[in-house]
């Protein structure tokens, strides 16, 4: 089959790889009909290369048709249309029983000290082949895949794999009071959905911040008040002044480790990427740093006594945070890998009607064949051609 494979920094290729097969009774094989490029895939394209090896298959936002199931999978059958969550969870373990699916004890990558295994996401999370491919082996298929209606375009349901539940969790963690103000830093795909979900769940005012004109315009189309950060000298101060001199009731950081404007973090990430893999892994694990300009702005902007919710991916081990200010201001911080199946039963009914309250039909800017994936990664990273979200068709 064809699959997108990693070969080095900014070097991804579509190649022929062996077809997946049933290896465990709880496996399923899914023929992929649509698979998206996630913002966190760009971390693999840039800074997390030391944890990949040439030939690793990327991608963790797939959906398709079940082709085959193992003997232990009774809830699916060939022909079912499914979305595959990026987190691999078993369902009945101690963590899953508490809906902490991203910490599943059956698939935890204990050798790396990490939580549940993820599709297409480095040795840190199990080196499980990903879904930017024609076919995908799905472990723990007795629980993970989400059955969706047979009708409707893929993109009505595809985002259940990651970015919709990730945004839903971020908004839930932010806990904006009814009628309150939510600020969202970063209007990439997750940030777009955070802003829309915030409005849907009762925020009276949602402010989105970004520097890409196409992202700002997309948010405006959905009734989001936007701020172009390139026009602001003091972003936290501007937000505080804009919201009653107190700041937003809740703030979401939907950017993460590669934020623009963090020069020292960028230099450190680049330096690590120049080292041999073994040294780079050790450096990242013990002394890794992130670009923290967005997180620090969020912490300084949120109203005293309230919450910053982090959905952007961070990977540093020695990141300096303004703890004195956080303590003085009584800021709460919530974060974590998304527990996808915890939220999908709430979200799915919103996708099945004609009214599209979350605007899933207005996110994808490019749909390309899988063969064009290398070009799509470059375009997405450079934010070229108005690119906000890419969906690949195997």
In a structure prediction context, what are the per-residue pLDDT tens digits for the chain, which is 394 residues long? 999 999 999 999 999 999 999 999 999 999 999 999 999 999 899 877 889 999 999 999 999 999 999 999 999 999 999 999 999 999 999 999 999 999 999 999 999 999 999 999 999 999 999 999 999 999 999 999 999 999 999 999 999 999 999 999 999 999 999 999 999 999 999 999 999 999 999 999 999 999 999 999 999 999 999 999 999 999 999 999 999 999 999 999 999 876 555 444 443 444 444 444 554 444 444 445 578 999 999 999 999 999 999 998 888 787 889 999 999 999 999 999 999 999 999 999 999 888 999 999 999 999 999 999 999 999 999 999 999 999 999 9
Cα separations in angstroms, 383 against 158, 170, 389: 21, 24, 10
Nearest to 240 by CA among 311, 329, 166, 175: 329
For 82, phi then psi, to 5°, come to -135, 150
Rounded Cα gap, residues 388 and 195, in angstroms: 15
Domain with CATH 3.90.180.10 in the chain: 2-162+339-392
Helix or strand (DSSP H, E) at 148: none
Has domain 164-335 been given CATH number 3.40.50.720?
yes
Domain with CATH 3.40.50.720 in the chain: 164-335
Nearest to 51 by CA among 102, 109, 1, 131: 109
Residue 40 and residue 254 in contact, taking contact as beta carbons nearer than 8 Å: no
Taken in order 192, 197, 203, 204, the sign of the CA dihedral is positive
Residue 342 and residue 165 in contact, taking contact as beta carbons nearer than 8 Å: yes
Which fold is adopted by the domain 2-162+339-392?
Answer: Quinone Oxidoreductase; Chain A, domain 1 (3.90.180)
Rounded Cα gap, residues 351 and 193, in angstroms: 13
Rounded Cα gap, residues 191 and 197, in angstroms: 10
pTM: 0.92
Helix or strand (DSSP H, E) at 39: none
| Cβ neighbour number for residue 197 with a 10 Å cutoff | 27
In order, the DSSP letters of 149-185 are: -SSS-GGGTGGGGTHHHHHHHHHHHHTPPTT-EEEEE
In the prediction, which pLDDT does 169 show? 98
**Structure tokens, 284:** 């990242």
């Amino acid at each position: 089959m064809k699959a997108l494979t990693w070969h080095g920094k900014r070097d991804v290729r579509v190649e022929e790889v062996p077809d997946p097969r049933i290896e465990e009774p709880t496996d399923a094989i899914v023929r992929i009909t649509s698979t998206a490029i996630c913002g966190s895939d760009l971390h693999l394209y840039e800074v997390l290369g030391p944890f990949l090896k040439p030939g690793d298959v990327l991608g963790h936002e797939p959906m398709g048709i079940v082709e085959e199931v193992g003997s232990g999978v009774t809830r699916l059958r060939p022909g079912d249309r499914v979305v595959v969550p990026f987190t691999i969870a078993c369902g009945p373990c101690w963590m899953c029983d508490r809906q902490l699916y991203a910490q599943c004890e059956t698939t935890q990558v204990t050798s790396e000290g990490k939580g549940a295994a993820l599709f297409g996401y480095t040795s840190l999370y199990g080196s499980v082949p990903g879904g930017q491919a024609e076919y995908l082996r799905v472990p723990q298929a007795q629980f993970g895949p989400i059955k969706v209606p047979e009708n409707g375009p893929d993109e009505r349901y595809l985002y259940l794999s990651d970015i919709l539940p990730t945004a839903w969790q971020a908004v839930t963690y932010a806990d904006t009071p009814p009628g309150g103000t939510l600020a969202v830093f970063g209007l990439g795909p997750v940030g777009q959905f955070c802003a829309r979900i915030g409005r849907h769940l009762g925020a009276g005012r949602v402010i989105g911040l970004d520097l890409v004109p196409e992202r700002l315009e997309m948010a405006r189309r959905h009734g989001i008040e936007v701020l172009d950060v390139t026009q602001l000298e003091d972003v936290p101060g501007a937000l505080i002044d804009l919201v009653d001199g107190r700041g937003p009731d809740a703030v979401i950081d939907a950017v993460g480790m590669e934020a623009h404007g963090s020069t020292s973090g960028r230099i450190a990430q680049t330096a690590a990427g120049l080292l041999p893999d073994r040294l780079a892994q050790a450096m990242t694990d013990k002394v890794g740093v992130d670009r923290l300009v967005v997180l620090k702005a969020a912490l300084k902007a949120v109203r005293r006594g309230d919450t910053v919710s982090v959905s952007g991916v961070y990977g540093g081990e020695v990141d300096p945070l303004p703890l004195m200010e956080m303590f003085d201001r009584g800021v709460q911080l919530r974060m974590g890998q998304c527990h996808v199946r915890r939220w999908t039963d709430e979200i799915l009914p919103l996708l099945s009607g004609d009214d599209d309250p979350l605007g899933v039909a207005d996110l994808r800017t490019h749909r390309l064949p899988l063969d064009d994936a290398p070009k799509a990664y470059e375009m997405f990273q450079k934010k070229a051609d108005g690119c906000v979200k890419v969906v690949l068709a195997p």
